[in-house]
Structure 1
Amino acid sequence: MYKLKVVIVGAGIGGLTTGIAMKQAGYQVEVYDRVTELRPAGAGISLWSNGVKVLNRLGLGERLAAIGGEMNAMEYRSHTDEQLSYVDLHPLFEQVGQRPYPVARADLQAMLLEKFGPENVHLGMPCVAVEQDDQSATAIFENGHRATGDLVIGADGVHSAVRAYVLGRSVSRRYARYVNWNGLVPAEAALCAQDRWVIYVGESKRASMMPVGGDRFYFFFGAPMVEGTQVDPAHRRDELADIFKGWPTAVQHLIEAIDPHSTNRLEIGDIDPLERLVRGRIALLGDSAHATTPTLGQGGCQAIEGAEVLTRYLLTTNISVSDALNRYEKARKDRTAELVLKARKRSSVIYGHEPSATQQWYRDLKQEPPESVINALAKVILTGPLG
């Protein structure tokens, strides 16, 4: 019996999850990545319940729970240490049927790689072009290697080489006008309750901690900044101490606790929603299709959702590969575009693009009932492919 052959460009969250789903569907799968060592960008990620449900279906539920943090509540505090809001997340778990898991990116990638099988991942293989005919699609690599299959999936990130072919044009990353610092620190009571996500906001900036596995907190800071600034890792603690001078004691403890050399400093950007995600036998998935700012915590989840939807359409139609990919595009394009634009708008509010809107948001945080927060989170989760 013929097995569909799938070539995936990119071994990040989206590429590996897609590889796992398609191997479980019985397909032949090869994954390629440009890097010589898989080192995830960023230290942590919040996997909300829509992403977790897909990983559960792929048989990863127990392992994900083991590496994930137990997050039972979220709390907003001001830069003067006033509690602005507190939301017990248990009603959310009951409404959507699954708790979220904040995880260290390295742990998540290692889990996905182990499940997929590292022997099927080819590293040091930058993709430079793709091509197709009526019967097959081919990814072409810098060293001249050609990987041909029934379809090619471009899960190769915000600077995707596959995307230029799908669209017939190049796409520029849009700077979101803020810098994000992130990393991992040991979980200590002086920083945050071990089952809580705490976000400090004020002065168009924010500082946050959330639990991940291994008795650690994933932390991030965000502050508006012009594009193109660079700070040597040795000076990143001093940079944060200056930007967040006068903020609450817990934030100062966090700054003291970080390892500046392992703290990431990222200029955050996104891409405009695309007019298409598919061209014939070639499809885009994850950041290559819908790179977003992290302000909704849905970037990784949307890549994971894409893996489930694309695999399902390949399994449930026997018309053609192109037909399945077109159905995938129809199911994913509007959902991902809406979340990219929603995250973009939220970033502009958080980081003071319109100061009056930011001040109003601070006031709204104090007045918004917890059930409104729960319902907003549930709406995003329940409109995912697994409900």
Structure 2
Amino acid sequence: MEESTAESTSYRPMVVIVGAGLGGLFLGILLERARIPYRILERAIEVKPLGAGVTLNVNIMPAFEQLGLLDDLLKIGMPVYDVNLFNEKMQKIGTVSGMNRRAIDGYDTHLFTRKKLYDLLLKHVPEHKISFGKRVVNIEERDSKVFIQCADGSIHAADILVGADGAYSTVRQALYKGLDQRGLLPKSDLKKLAAGYINIIGTAQPIAKGDPTAMLNKYPQLKEDTVQFSSVIGQKQLSWGVASAKDNEVTWGIAYQLSEKEAGDQLKSSEWNPESSSDMLRGFYDLPCPWGGTMGEIIEATPKEMRSRVVLEEKVFETWHHGRVVLIGDACHKMLIGAGLGAVNALQDAVVLSNCLYDLPNINAESIKAAFQEYYEQRYSHAVKAFKLSNMVSGVMNGTSWKQRIMRYILLNYIPAKLHERSYAESTAYRPQCNWLPLVAKRGTGAVSPQKPSRRYTEEQARAKAAVPVSHIVANAAAAVV
């Protein structure tokens, strides 16, 4: 039996993160920089960052800049300014624009392939701090610790356990089971996630049929230095689209909107599963690609292991923490992908949680409870807003019901540009940074929400300013002698 633990200082807890997804890795990077001991447990033997495109924007890029990762981040992505919408006859029905706001926000919204973004984050987490093949089977709090037991028999002790393990989080299920048995869990947290769409997504590679120029010649959209994003709203609950990405890759997706009955019949899907997509894909090869040709040609240029099928679900849970256990990302708020806010919010969770952990005065239960509650109060309302926006934008981008078609027509044709601008400005003002690092100066002309300062960092800076460097004393002494 293996047991892992670590000595903690009065305010630096030993943290175990379950889940090596984007949120778990980013939290690891933050804890590494904050010198808070941690370990990441991932149930997969090897994580395959399946999926298509991920967008990051001004709401999280200042944190990347603080960490010195912004330049590397921008190298693997491309700015995205608008999305062109078509009907199934390839007639343009409108453009969702307004994302070209660098002068106002200070940053462009960028699109990345999930693999490139994942690899970038993984590179900045020390290899010895991630353990793969660690499927959690039991969680128990005792003796002022939380013990995490894995299927391989290993037991990992920590002061704090972070569940970053997705929409069907094992950590959340264990936490909720205990709370429900004691009558402490809100009834809403027992309800299932609402299933909205079945998606098959992937990333087509630049080399098709052995010809390295095939994709580039076939799709001139790839020659542009900004993301070319085209989405088709079809009939019979179908929508699909393509978007260009760095290095001439093409991210794509096909969405089937579930009826209420179909949503109720769906089995839970906590994984991006390449094996289950093949049968479903065969019926979509003849769909017209908005760039020309068919979607089948895009699909064939996508390695099978990079195709994945997932049921897209949504829900914001009320309970994010209890005792020494706390949740981040999809484990506490699962969003539809239309607005591209799922990854952004998971990373924001990591930033705010790291701020609260940095300010821990000690690792007593009451201090940890207060830190978790502070994290919840800072993040919950913003997650709810992002959840509602994701639902609305997904309806505009992919919705095929008559209500969604009417809403899309009104939004594209009758909502004044100033109203769009005001709404966008409100959503981009929130930009949480690490308050235990020097804050990045404001970019652009847009408003920025105030950042809550770190008590510990403020005290550390004050002590540093009050201390007189030895070199300064020696220099003054030498000057006096002369």
Separation in 2 of the partners of 1:208 and 1:374? Answer: 25
| 1:182 aligned to which of 199, 202, 222 | 202
Separation in 1 of the partners of 2:141 and 2:27? Answer: 21
Question: Residue 57 of structure 1: CA displacement?
Answer: 2.1
> Equivalent residue for 1:318?
361
Separation in 1 of the partners of 2:47 and 2:323? Answer: 30
Matched, 1:269 2:312: yes
| 1:131 aligned to which of 129, 135, 140 | 140
1:157-236 superposed matches below 5 A: 157-167=166-176, 168-169=179-180, 172-186=192-206, 188=216, 190=219, 192=221, 194=224, 195-203=226-234, 204-225=237-258, 226=262
Matched, 1:85 2:86: no
| 1:343 aligned to which of 374, 381, 390 | 390
Moved more, 360-369 or 327-336: 360-369
1:92-131 superposed matches below 5 A: 92-131=101-140
Matched position secondary structure for 1:267: strand
Matched position secondary structure for 2:59: helix
Q: Do 1:192 and 1:198's aligned partners in 2 also have CA atoms closer than 8 Å?
A: no
Question: Residue 27 of structure 1: CA displacement?
Answer: 0.7
Q: 1:184-217: CA deviations, max 9, x gaps? A: 3436373636313423232354333333322323
Question: Residue 287 of structure 1: CA displacement?
Answer: 0.9
Q: In terms of Rg, which structure is larger?
A: 2
Separation in 1 of the partners of 2:229 and 2:108? Answer: 17
Change (3 A) 1:339 1:70: closer
Matched, 1:6 2:10: no
The structure with the greater share of residues assigned to strand is 1
Letter in 2 for 1:358: R
Separation in 2 of the partners of 1:137 and 1:288? Answer: 18
Moved more, 336-345 or 322-331: 336-345
Instruction: Report percent identity of matched pairs.
Output: 20
Question: Residue 114 of structure 1: CA displacement?
Answer: 1.0
What is the TM-score normalised by the length of structure 1? 0.88
Q: Do 2:200 and 2:277's aligned partners in 1 also have CA atoms closer than 8 Å?
A: no
Question: Residue 239 of structure 1: CA displacement?
Answer: 2.0
Moved more, 366-375 or 31-40: 366-375
Question: Residue 374 of structure 1: CA displacement?
Answer: 4.7
Structure 2 unaligned segments of length 5 or more: list them.
1-7, 181-189, 207-214, 268-272, 434-447, 449-482
Separation in 1 of the partners of 2:375 and 2:358? Answer: 12
> Equivalent residue for 2:45?
36
Change (3 A) 1:263 1:124: closer
Change (3 A) 1:105 1:249: closer
Question: Residue 233 of structure 1: CA displacement?
Answer: 5.1
Question: Residue 384 of structure 1: CA displacement?
Answer: 3.7
Change (3 A) 1:300 1:352: closer
Count matched residues: 383
Q: Do 1:183 and 1:262's aligned partners in 2 also have CA atoms closer than 8 Å?
A: no
Q: 1:217-271: CA deviations, max 9, x gaps? A: 32222232546599965556542234x3xx4651535541333524534233324
Letter in 2 for 1:221: I
Separation in 2 of the partners of 1:326 and 1:370? Answer: 38
> Equivalent residue for 2:380?
333
Matched, 1:381 2:410: no
Q: 1:63-85: CA deviations, max 9, x gaps? A: 11111123244433343332512
Q: Do 1:77 and 1:198's aligned partners in 2 also have CA atoms closer than 8 Å?
A: no
Moved more, 142-151 or 12-21: 142-151
Letter in 2 for 1:196: V
Question: Residue 281 of structure 1: CA displacement?
Answer: 1.6
Moved more, 63-72 or 178-187: 178-187
Moved more, 96-105 or 21-30: 96-105
Matched position secondary structure for 1:45: strand
Matched position secondary structure for 1:210: strand
Q: Do 1:173 and 1:270's aligned partners in 2 also have CA atoms closer than 8 Å?
A: yes
Change (3 A) 1:191 1:277: farther
> Equivalent residue for 1:301?
344
Change (3 A) 1:302 1:271: same
Letter in 1 for 2:202: N
Question: Residue 330 of structure 1: CA displacement?
Answer: 1.2
Q: Do 1:183 and 1:263's aligned partners in 2 also have CA atoms closer than 8 Å?
A: yes
Letter in 2 for 1:131: E
Question: Residue 304 of structure 1: CA displacement?
Answer: 0.4
Q: Do 1:129 and 1:141's aligned partners in 2 also have CA atoms closer than 8 Å?
A: yes
